[in-house]
Amino acid sequence: MMNTVVGILLLITYVAFAIYAAKGGNLMIGFFVMAVLWAGLGAIAGVTVWSSTAEGVIDINNGIFEQGPELWGSTAAIIIFGSWFGRILVDTGIARTLIRTAVEWGGDKPALTCILLSIVTSLIFTSAYGAGSVVAIGVIIFPILLSLGISTHLASASFLMSVGAGLYLNNGWLKQVGALIPEFDITIPTWKTYGFIAFGIQMLAVILMILVSSRGTAKKHAWAAKSDQGEKKVGALALLTPVIPVCLSVFLNFKPITAILVAVLWALVFTGNLKNMKDIGDMVQKTFHDGVTDVALVFAFLFFLQMFLRSAKVCAPLLAPIIQPVLPSNLLILFVIFGLFSVMALFRGPLTVWGAGAATLAMFQAIGGVFTPMILFPLFMVPATTINGSICPTQSWCLWAIGYTKTDLKQYFKTCLPYALVAALVLEMVAYFMFV
């Protein structure tokens, strides 16, 4: 009887947290409070440990509040190096040259230029990571798009969905999600293949959105032609830098940090930044500092999130008997539901692991059975990436882009939401046939 009462209290606090997250509450504080509450409720019911082959035994004292943040070490390192790499692309001039080249190829065709810039953006964010990198690229791209007559809502939507497409291949993002489901191996060939498919499907959605939404756009003179005069243009070999980490990781099985280091060295060599040791030191030090600063708050968020997830695992035996009877046992139905209702990943809702969906994931993990890591990773990855990471105003880089372009939120959602939701549904269906 006690276990049932505590289980119901856990669900009540989950619903309260979902409402709190959807209303824009501070998630760092929210996750910490939930970790304390769930650990306490578990202790009241006499459930104080959880065991798995991947993580060993988790207890309240050591496993939740100590190991939760500690075990993010490798993930944190990859995120830092990804953020640093983004700063390298900007400070060496590689990003600006890629963008200017896309503008030159697009000529006086606004839609074509917007598509080319979206492709460049998506390629950059297969390796670069963090809000700082998004801002650094965005402040170059947005003036170009707006000067071409692209509307603010289309400029914001195409840029952000392109960033999101790159995340399907981005080691920093993958490790971040993977740390929530540690039993899933993101290096398996099936996931690598799916990552490329997801990248392609989301970019197809971006291109269709641009073609439909840019009809009738007036032609204007390209901004880059005048503003970049006198600025050094890097060579063709340097422009390969953004895709080097992904290629090395996927095709040659390089570890993420090793792949980034190779790409950084490549960038420095082919942009002429290896001539003077002092200049090398200054650039590496500045870009690394900026990269760490860009993701500092991300770490705080993730540390508290991990505390909550581990407290939820301790409470697994209390949740499973209550939730299991109401969940669909047919996995096809489950993937369809996640695709059709992926809009619930917006505003930190119950289908994104970066919000109330963290508790949803924990409850699926508590039930186990058919809900294996091989199922849960793609199931939750799609709404967390295509919806929350690509268009949600509560995502830091999305909020910045919408504010920077002064985009009307209603017009923004009318432009991007239909394409993002269709892409999410298609990706869930592809995931079902690849992982089930």
Count of C-beta atoms within a 10 Å radius of residue 57? 10
Average pLDDT of the segment spanning 189-197:
94
Task: Read off the pLDDT band of 133 (50, 70, 90).
Answer: confident
Which residue, among 432, 205, 434, has the nearest Cα to 338 in the 3D structure?
432
Task: Specify the pLDDT at position 49.
Answer: 67
List, in order, residues 6 or more apart from 262 with CB less than 8 Å away.
Answer: 244, 245, 248, 254
Task: Specify the pLDDT at position 318.
Answer: 81
Report the run of H or E that residue 188 belongs to, with start and end: none
Instruction: Find the range with the poorest average confidence among 22-31, 126-135, 406-415.
Output: 22-31
Query: Is the per-residue pLDDT at 107 higher than 80?
Result: no
Task: Read off the pLDDT band of 331 (50, 70, 90).
Answer: very high
Query: Is the per-residue pLDDT at 50 higher than 50?
Result: yes
Task: Specify the pLDDT at position 225.
Answer: 42
What CA–CA distance (Å, rounded) separates 415 from 406?
A: 15
Query: Is the per-residue pLDDT at 341 higher than 90?
Result: yes
Task: Specify the pLDDT at position 7.
Answer: 83
Task: Read off the pLDDT band of 229 (50, 70, 90).
Answer: very low
Instruction: Find the range with the poorest average confidence among 9-13, 380-384, 417-421.
Output: 9-13
Task: Specify the pLDDT at position 220.
Answer: 54
Whether residue 205 contacts residue 422, with contact meaning beta carbons closer than 8 Å, is answered with yes
Instruction: Find the range with the poorest average confidence among 199-203, 319-323, 333-337, 390-394.
Output: 319-323
Task: Read off the pLDDT band of 230 (50, 70, 90).
Answer: very low
Instruction: Find the range with the poorest average confidence among 29-33, 80-84, 306-310, 375-379.
Output: 306-310
Tokens of 361: 């994931």
What CA–CA distance (Å, rounded) separates 399 from 394?
A: 6
Report the run of H or E that residue 50 belongs to, with start and end: strand 49-52
Whether residue 315 contacts residue 365, with contact meaning beta carbons closer than 8 Å, is answered with no
Question: Which CA distances in Å does 180 have to 123, 283, 316, 366, 380?
Answer: 25, 34, 15, 13, 10
Average pLDDT of the segment spanning 212-218:
75
Whether residue 367 contacts residue 129, with contact meaning beta carbons closer than 8 Å, is answered with no
Task: Specify the pLDDT at position 321.
Answer: 78
Whether residue 276 contacts residue 149, with contact meaning beta carbons closer than 8 Å, is answered with no
- Taking CA 360 as the corner, what is the angle to CA 355 and CA 361, rounded to the nearest 5 degrees? 95
Query: Is the per-residue pLDDT at 281 higher than 80?
Result: yes
